[in-house]
Chains A and B, each alone.
Chain A
Amino acid sequence: MATSDSTIESQRERGREALLRTWSDRPGFMGWLTTVDHKRVGRRYIATALVFFVIAGILAMLMRIQLSQPENNFLGPDRYNQMFSMHGSMMMFLFAVPVMEAVAVYIVPLMVGARNISFPRLNAFSYWIYLFGGIMILAAFLLDVGPEAGWTGYVPLSSSDFSAGKRTDFWAQMITFTEVAALCIAVELVATILAMRAPGMTLRRIPLFAWSMLIVSLMVIFAMPAVMLSSSFLISDRLVGTQFYNAGEGGDPLLWQHLFWFFGHPEVYIIFMPALGMISSIVETFSRRPIFGYTAMVLALVATGFLAFGLWVHHMFATGLPPLGNSFYTAASMMIAIPSGVQIFCWIATLWTGKPIITVPLLFVLGFFALFVLGGMTGVMVASVPLDLQVHDTYFVVAHFHYVLIGGAVFPLMGALYFWFPKFTGRMLSEALGRLQFWLFFIGFNVTFFPMHILGLMGMPRRVYTYPSGLGWDLPNMIASLGSWVIAGSVLVFAFNVFYALRAGRPAGDNPWGAPTLEWATLSPPPPYNFEEMPVVRGSEPLWPLDTDLPVMTGLAKDKREALLTTSTDALPATRWAMPDPSIWPLWSALALTVLFVWSIFSPWGVVWGAIPLAVVLTVWFWPKRSEPSLGGGE
Chain B
Amino acid sequence: MSRAESVVGDLSELPDYNFGSTSLGWWGTIGFMLIEGMGFVLAIGAYYYLLPYESAWPPEQSPPSLLWGTLFTAVAIASEIPNAWIKRRAKNYDLPAVRFGLVLMTLVGVVLLGLRAMEFTALNVRWDQNAYGSIVWALMALHTLHMATDTFDSGVLGAIAWLKKFDGRKFSDVADNAMYWHFIVWSWVVLYVVVYWTPRWM
Residue pair A250, B132 in contact (C-beta under 8 Å): yes
Q: Which of A220-228, A340-348, A428-436 contacts B (4 or more CB under 8 A)?
A: A220-228
Residue of A nearest to B17 (CB): A575
- Assign chain B's interface to a size class: 35 or more
B46 adjacent to A229 (CB under 8 Å)? yes
CA distance A195 to B18 in the complex (A): 12
Of all chain B residues, the one with the shortest Cβ separation from A577 is B24
Is A118 close to B, CB under 8 A? yes
Inter-chain contacts of A250 with B (CB < 8 A): 50, 53-54, 59, 130-132
A252 near B7: Cβ-Cβ < 8 Å? no
Whether the pair A534, B27 counts as a contact (CB closer than 8 A) is: no
- In this complex, what residue of A is CB-closest to B169? A632
Check B138 for interface membership: any CB of A closer than 8 A: yes
A562 CB contacts on chain B under 8 angstroms? 16
Contacts of A237 in B (CB 8 A): 134
A575 touches B27 (CB 8 A): no
| CB-contacts of A219-246 with B (<8 A) | 221-222, 224-226, 228-229, 233, 236-237, 240-244, 246
Which residues in chain A, 245-295, are within 8 Å of chain B measured between CB atoms?
246, 249-252, 255, 258-259, 262
Question: Of A119, A221, A615, which contacts B28 at CB under 8 A?
Answer: A119
Docked complex: A504-536 residues within 8 A CB-CB of B: 509-510, 521-523, 532-534, 536
A551 and B4 alpha carbons, distance in the complex (Å)? 9
Residue of A nearest to B137 (CB): A242
Q: How far is the CB of B113 from chain A (nearest CB, A)?
A: 14
- Interface stretch of the complex, out of B32-40, B179-187, B190-198: B32-40
Q: For the complex, is A578 an interface residue (Cβ under 8 Å from B)?
A: yes
A233-B138, A258-B49, A575-B15 known; A565+B23 contact, CB < 8 A: yes
A619 within 8 A of B: yes
A187 touching B31 by the CB < 8 A rule? yes
CB-based A-B contact count at 8 angstroms: 205
Q: Which residues of the partner chain B approach A534 to less than 8 Å between Cβ atoms?
A: 11
Using known A-B contacts A244-B134, A250-B130, determine if residue A552 contacts B8 with beta carbons closer than 8 Å: yes
Q: Does A564 contact B (CB under 8 A)?
A: yes
Contact indicator per residue, chain B 142-186, by CB within 8 Å of chain A (1) or not (0): 000000000010001000100011110110000000000000000
Chain B CB within 10 A, most for which of A226, A551, A577? A577
A590 within 8 A of B: no
Could you say which of B9, B42, B129 contacts A536, with CB atoms under 8 Å apart? Answer: B9
Tell whether, in the assembled complex, residue B6 and residue A550 are in contact, meaning their CB atoms are under 8 Å apart: yes
Q: Say whether, besides A118-B27, A551-B8, A576 and B34 are in contact (CB < 8 Å).
A: no
Q: Are A195 and B165 in contact (CB under 8 A)?
A: no
* Minimum C-beta distance from B45 to chain A (A): 8
Residues of A close to B2: CB separation below 8 A: 509-510
Separation in Å of the B90 CB from the closest CB of chain A? Answer: 14
In Å, the complex CA distance between A229 and B14 comes to 43
Stretch from A102-110, A450-458, A553-561 forming part of the interface with B:
A553-561
Which of A35-43, A352-360, A387-395, A566-574 lines the interface with chain B? A566-574
Q: Could you tell me the distance between the alpha carbons of A311 and B170 in the complex, rounded to whole angstroms? A: 43
Residues of chain B at the chain A interface (Cβ within 8 Å): 1-18, 21-24, 27-28, 31-32, 34-36, 38-39, 42-43, 46, 49-50, 53-54, 59, 127-135, 137-138, 152, 156, 160, 164-167, 169-170
Please list the residues of chain A having a beta carbon within 8 angstroms of any beta carbon in chain B: 118-119, 122, 183, 186-187, 190-191, 194-195, 199, 221-222, 224-226, 228-229, 233, 236-237, 240-244, 246, 249-252, 255, 258-259, 262, 509-510, 521-523, 532-534, 536, 543, 549-556, 562, 564-568, 573-578, 615, 619, 622-624, 632-635
17 example contacts (A-B, Cβ-Cβ < 8 A) are as follows: A191-B28, A240-B127, A243-B128, A244-B135, A246-B131, A249-B131, A250-B130, A251-B134, A252-B49, A536-B9, A543-B3, A552-B7, A552-B8, A555-B13, A567-B21, A568-B21, A632-B165
With A244-B50, A551-B5, A635-B165 known, 16 other A-B pairs at CB within 8 A are A118-B27, A187-B31, A221-B31, A240-B128, A250-B50, A251-B130, A252-B53, A252-B131, A255-B46, A536-B8, A550-B3, A555-B9, A565-B24, A575-B15, A575-B16, A622-B156
